[in-house]
Amino acid sequence: RCSLSRAAFDLVNIHLFHDASNLVAWEKSPSVYSGTRQKALGYVLDRITDQRHEKLPYFVFGDFNFRLDSKQVIESLCSTATLQTVRAADTNEVDKLIFRESDNDRKVVLQLEKKLFNYVNQDVFRENNGTSLLEYDKELSVFKDRLHELEISFPPSYPYSEDSSQGKQYMNTRCPAWCDRILLSPSARDLALKPENEEKSIVYDNIGPNVCMGDHKPVFLSFRITAGAGKCCQRGEKIFREAPL
């Protein structure tokens, strides 16, 4: 809980479950992992808004591990490719999926394994900040009435190479996705999007786009909270006013 002058709001850091296997994530849409994250985030939001606690604007941020809908994005990226399934000799379980072009000497477009996502053209995740793939970023839509996000204008935040000389390169381990986010409750969104705020004063972006920052690129949200422009909540709810950060 943060209090600046007479402004009060909650800051909630979160780290949700990851996709343990690319092959399992591919099996259905939405994936089983998406459902697990949905339940976990719903539990956290219920705790934040529990009637026992004072109602304040809140910001939820961290590694949500939100992923693109694997089945849909792979079907889009490999729409003209043919699929080869390779099974383990001892268990007969699917060991890898290989998507090949129908012509062009059957060039491999994508090879998918438990911890391998080797796509032929990483530029699709970087061009125009990868925003053409945002249609497959669906996990937040379940919470559209409870959480808001400013427009994403940065590339997928994970998984970047940890080679210090490859600041823009993704690792071939997972499908790049916007795992790292900053989400706002409706009242927190009102704090950030006040009419008196200049649009240019609100920035939602990543850090270190051209340098190695580890396998995640951190994201930040910067905005002004204007002094004396806060809301007043009656009947036992805390009175808070906006103050400059």
Predicted local confidence at residue 200, as pLDDT: 62
For residue 245, tell me if it sits in a domain: no
Percent above pLDDT 70 for the chain: 87
For residue 169, tell me if it sits in a domain: yes
Cis peptide before 186, with omega less than 30 degrees from 0?
Answer: no
Query: For the segment 33-84, what is each residue's pLDDT rounded down to a tens digit?
Result: 999 999 999 999 999 998 887 788 999 999 999 999 999 999 999 999 999 9
User: Coil, helix or strand for 86?
Assistant: strand
By the 8 A CB rule, do 171 and 159 touch? yes
Predicted local confidence at residue 55, as pLDDT: 86
CA 204 – CA 27 distance, rounded (Å): 33
Please provide the average confidence, as pLDDT, over all residues in the chain: 88
Q: What is the CATH number of the domain that holds 217?
A: 3.60.10
For residue 23, tell me if it sits in a domain: yes
For residue 11, tell me if it sits in a domain: yes
Cis peptide before 159, with omega less than 30 degrees from 0?
Answer: yes
Of 98-107, 125-134, 178-187, 197-206, the least confident: 197-206
Q: In sequence order, which ranges of 78-201 are alpha helices (DSSP H)?
A: 186-192
Neighbouring CB atoms inside 10 A of 35's CB total 13
CA atoms in the 13 A half-sphere facing the CB of 155: 23
Q: Average pLDDT in the 7-15 region? A: 90
Predicted local confidence at residue 90, as pLDDT: 93
For residue 147, tell me if it sits in a domain: yes
For residue 241, tell me if it sits in a domain: no
Tally the domains of the chain. Answer: 1
Tell me the whole-structure pTM to 2 decimals: 0.88
By the 8 A CB rule, do 189 and 118 touch? no
Select the more confidently predicted residue: 70 or 240.
70
**In the 8-state DSSP scheme, what is residue 29?**
S
For residue 107, tell me if it sits in a domain: yes
CA atoms in the 13 A half-sphere facing the CB of 176: 30
Question: Domain containing 14: what range?
Answer: 2-222
The secondary structure element, H or E, covering residue 127 is none
When pLDDT is cut at 50, 70 and 90, the band that residue 197 belongs to is low
For residue 229, tell me if it sits in a domain: no
When pLDDT is cut at 50, 70 and 90, the band that residue 98 belongs to is very high
Query: For the segment 144-192, what is each residue's pLDDT rounded down to a tens digit?
Result: 999 999 999 999 999 999 999 999 999 999 999 999 999 999 999 988 8
